[in-house]
Structure formats: structure tokens, C-alpha cells
A and B are shown apart, each in its own frame.
Chain A
Amino acid sequence: MKLPERFFSRVLLAYLPLMVYPYGFFRSCVAAAWIVLFFWGSVLFFWLTRRFFFRPVLKHAFFLWLIVWGQAVWAVTKLPPFWILSVFFLTPSPFFDDRASTDPVRIFSKKIPRYAFERIAAGIGFAGFTALLALVKDVAAKDLGLGIFEQPAGTLLVIAAIAFLWKNQPYQKRG
């Protein structure tokens, strides 16, 4: 399975499972914050322990990890486990590649800041995007009464329409 590498497409893909939650602004933000914290925690955990696993087992261990946490959080907080899909979509795709190396990385190598920056940026981008869409939903649907913004799908449709029009602007003569 090929997952997108680009930042925005990953964030958008990770947002899709959240669309099933009928939450307002505050609860959406709490759910997004939990997803991001869990995502960072998982990345850190598997970064530290990846060399302790048999290489073919690592992928399955990760899925088991996601399933168990989804079940546990569902039992404790009644949060339906769709959020686990968001974590899955945020996870860096080389992680699922059996050929990727698990060689030791020096603690002061340049790879670590770049790796960490990409994960942190993905988490913050996801949380920010979710908060933005929840805010648009609250303001546009409740305060302004625009029906299309009541569903997240409507908001995404408007965004897609804007992006389409932006990409297909008529040719303008300069000067």
C-alpha cells in the first residue's frame, strides 16, 4: 500500500476519519490533541525500540499496538476508535517498508533533527487543520447559518472548489 509522502495530503488523509465525529470546536480540538500526542508517543516508542524487534514482526507489532490502544481508549473514554486511523495515516510510510533499514543512527547525526521535525510538523499541521475546520464549522454553520458547512464534507467540498478555481484562473495579460 502506497501512502502519500507530501505533508498536506497526509494531513488531509488523517483528517478524514475525524469526519465521523459529531463534535464541536472544543471536543474536536481535544480529540486532535490526543491523536497528535499519541502519534508522537508511538513514534518515539518505536524509534527507541525498533531494533529490539525482529524486522518482519515490526509492522505487525505496530498494528497490534494501534488496535490495543484503540480498544483501551474506547473502553475508558468512550471515544470511538476511528481516531486510530488518523494515527495510521500520519505514520511515516517507510515504517511499513520491510526493506527499510534499522541500522543504528548516531545520536548527533543530522538525520535525527530532520526526522523529528517532519513528525512534529505533521502533528502540528494535523491539529491545526482539524482546529481550523472545527472553527469554520462552528462559525459558518451556527453563527452565519450556512448549511453547507454543517458537515465536514461540505467544508472540504468548498475548499476543493476554491482550490480548483485557484488552479484554473483565467489567463491575465500583464501590463
Chain B
Amino acid sequence: MEHESALEQMNKPAMKKSLSHGGLEVVQILLLFVAAFFLSQPRVWGFAVMPQHASGNRILENVSLWHDASIRVILAYDGVANRSLAYDESSTLNAPDKEKAAVGERSHFADFVKTVAAETTTLETTPLKGVQLNKVIGDTTSDAIASRYPAALREVPFDTVGGTRISDVVPLDGSNIAIESKVGLTSLDSRIRQELARDWWLARQGQVNTMWEFTPSPITGEVGPTSALLQKLQKLQIPYKINQ
């Protein structure tokens, strides 16, 4: 009892101190320091640069995700990987040759793949497929876009005359833009028409200008709007960007 009491006596002042006004200010300054010096740098999502042996997991019938506990994460899929990824001779991966594609330096796709690394813990235990994998790829792509900005919000709702529009990324840089992320080939279907109408309305109202950004699908290798969607984007004067 005496021992517990002594500990309590030792902890109480410390707790009070950590919650004091001065303590909070120190924390805030430290956070600002971190934000100023680290957030503007490309993120490596917490993986060490030191290469190690790879481990992998098959996440679809013809898709494997390999990682080597470094920033290298490999999405290997028959016949497509080399189209988007530059082979890295220094890779120490143990994956089979055909699955041994390394991430290219600084490419957008590489950034995308790095973000997939954040999901590898889940992938190790629960192989993703179908719709679940679809969501992971979509989310990580949007996260990669958001990471380009010192500060940005994800999945931001805007009210429109036709209903709610949820923007994938809204940078907090005063630019008044939002980014709609699309992975793979995107066609002008019923849902896309609704999104376009709402984005057009938001721009016309001066609320926010949405830019559509297209990223290659790691599964099919396809990217961009179809011809019909491209024409619609141009007609509505909605800016777009196609990553290769």
C-alpha cells in the first residue's frame, strides 16, 4: 500500500503538469515542428529503407502483393507490372522472377504502391479480394493524393441541389479545389453522370472546383476516362489529370 501510495504521489504532479497550459503549448509547438519539417516530405508510410527478405501474399487469383519490410512493395500481376514499374536491380526480394518487379523512383504509381504498403498488415492475415480489394486500392490512391499536400481532408461532403457530393481529397491550402480520384478506366455510367452534374453545380456556385485525377489500375493497367467521359469533362469545363 505504501508502495502504491508513493507511486500515486509521484504520478499526480506529473499528470497535472502534462495537462497544464504550458505543457499543451509545448506539445502544440512540437506538433507544428513535426508538421513543418516532415509532412511536406514524401511519406514512406513507416517502412524502413533497409531491404530485407520479402514476404508476400496472394490477394487475387493472378495478383500478389509482396513487400520486403522496406518501402518497396510489389504488386505483381501477369503481364502488367513491368508496364508501370521500373525494375530495380538492387532488389533483394525472394519473389519468383515474374513477380519480382520493383517500384520505380518517385513515380506516381510508386507512390501509390507505397500507400498499399500501409495495408500489408491486414493483407498478411486477411487476403483481400473483389470489392474489399477495390476499396483498399481506391482509398490508398486517394491517401497518396492527399499526402502530396501539407494538409488535406479526405471524403469531404458538400451539399448540392441534387444531393450530397463527397469529395475524395480537399487540400487545405486555400486553393478552393477538390480532387476526385479514379482508378483504372472510368466510363460515363449513371453514377458518374450524377457526380459530374454535382461537381459542375458546385463549381458554378463558386463553392469548390473539382479536378478529376485518373490513376492506372494495378489490376488491369488501364487508366483514364473513356472517350465519352473525356468529352463530358471538357464540355463541363471540369479539369482533369491522367497519371501514367
A binds B: no
Interface residues of A (CB under 8 A from B): none
Interface residues of B (CB under 8 A from A): none
